[in-house]
Amino acid sequence: GKNHLEESLQIFRKIGDKRGEATALHFLSYRITLAETLASAQHMAEQSLALYKQLNDPVGQAKLLTQLSLVHDYQGHTEEALNLIQQARIIAGQCGVVDAADDNRLAVALMHGGRFQEARQISQESIQNIEQMEIETEMLAWRYNTLGRIHIHLGDFRLAQQAAERANQIFVELRKQQHPFFLRTLGLVFLAKGSYDRSAEALTYNLSWQDEVDDANQLPRASAHVDQCYLNWRMGRPAEIRRHMKAALEIGSRHGTFLVTLRLLPVAALVALDHSNRRLTHSLITLGNRYPYIKDSHWYTTVALNELHRRLAALPATERAFAETQGRALTLPEMSAELLTLLA
């Protein structure tokens, strides 16, 4: 646990074991990424990376750059996350230890950067490499799930469903039970396809599992609440949207996980428009347009953006012009704070 890691860190520092200190900081950073504030996780990861550089350990550097990529991704710094994992891949390749930089992390970073075609290529290559070993593992299941998520944003909902079902099939064969994360991917597919009952079954199961499990990782719990916002928007349940949006933003704000805010932007804009808050609507749209992950995603377009743009186009030109002049350019943390104030 965290206490043991902290004790180990102090011992390594006391005896001057730089490698032990770097390793303890690495694992503490990962642990804190899941459970506490991302700023603390980033600080520890940067300390660990500096030590690995002093030790001239390229494998350690690649692993820490991968960890820092995860931290920045959770913070909503999608470009920096992608830059860090690409650095990790270069170093790992140079030292001949390719698996020191996780290819699945690269695929997810590319996806969050809105580079969906590149993400799909990396994901497919990763799956092919594992399948050549002719062994079905949980690693393979997770890569199929990532591929399914990427297909969703490309608008290939049939392929997304096939990939998520394959991920779940592998996991069931290995563990004799379904995985809620893989069911979540299926739920997102069903939502885009208009199968709201099937979507609700999968997404609600995932949320219930997240609430019940004793898991330190906060992002999946927040993401489950984000999913419920879109589901309840499509099913016309405004009170539920408000409840889940507040829960997601509170988790994100507490941990510095502003990827949550990014995912909420389209549905939050629809809610703001419903309440005739034109200024906030335009601010949300302006912020979303900075991120290819949102504006170029077929999934967000299907479940929210098409309706948002249609409703905005129906407004009188004077109203649209007023909203554009009043809308403010906010960052993800600033938008999170503003939405929480309105939801209080």
pLDDT at 34: 60
The span from the CA of 291 to the CA of 207, in Å, is 26
Please compute the mean of the pLDDT values over residues 195-200 and round it to a whole number. Answer: 97
CA distances from 192 to 225, 257, 303 (A): 17, 25, 6
pLDDT at 2: 63
Q: How confident is the model at residue 33 (pLDDT cuts 50, 70, 90)?
A: low
- Max CA-CA distance within the chain? 71
| Torsion 100-145-297-323 (CA) sign | negative
Tracing tokens 């949006």 back to the chain, one arrives at 245
Q: What is the 3-state secondary structure (H, E, C) of the chain?
A: CHHHHHHHHHHHHHHCCHHHHHHHHHHHHHHHHHHCCHHHHHHHHHHHHHHHHHCCCHHHHHHHHHHHHHHHHHCCCHHHHHHHHHHHHHHHHHCCCHHHCCHHHHHHHHHHCCCHHHHHHHHHHHHHHHHCCCCCCHHHHHHHHHHHHHHHHHCCHHHHHHHHHHHHHHHHHHHCCCCHHHHHHHHHHHHHHCCHHHHHHHHHHHHHHHHHCCCCCCHHHHHHHHHHHHHHHHCCCHHHHHHHHHHHHHHHHHHCCCHHHHHHHHHHHHHHHHCCCHHHHHHHHHHHCCCHHHHCCHHHHHHHHHHHHHHHHCCCHHHHHHHHHHCCCCCHHHHHHHHHHHHC
Residue 324 above 70 pLDDT? no
Residue 226 above 90 pLDDT? yes
User: Model pTM?
Assistant: 0.90
Highest mean pLDDT among 14-28, 129-143, 227-241: 227-241
Please compute the mean of the pLDDT values over residues 244-265 and round it to a whole number. Answer: 95
pLDDT at 344: 83
CA distances from 110 to 70, 74, 82 (A): 12, 14, 6
Residue 211 above 90 pLDDT? no
Per the CB < 8 A criterion, the answer to whether 49 and 61 are in contact is yes
Q: Which of 121, 108, 113 lies closest to 149, judged by CA?
A: 108
Give per-residue pLDDT as tens, 260-314. 999 999 999 999 999 988 889 999 999 999 999 999 999 999 999 999 999 998 8
Other C-beta atoms lying within 10 Å of the C-beta of residue 136: 15
pLDDT at 37: 79
User: 229: which 2 tokens?
Assistant: 């916002």
pLDDT at 72: 93
Give per-residue pLDDT as tens, 54-101. 999 999 999 999 989 999 999 999 999 999 999 999 998 888 876 766
Residue 126 above 70 pLDDT? yes
Q: How confident is the model at residue 141 (pLDDT cuts 50, 70, 90)?
A: very high
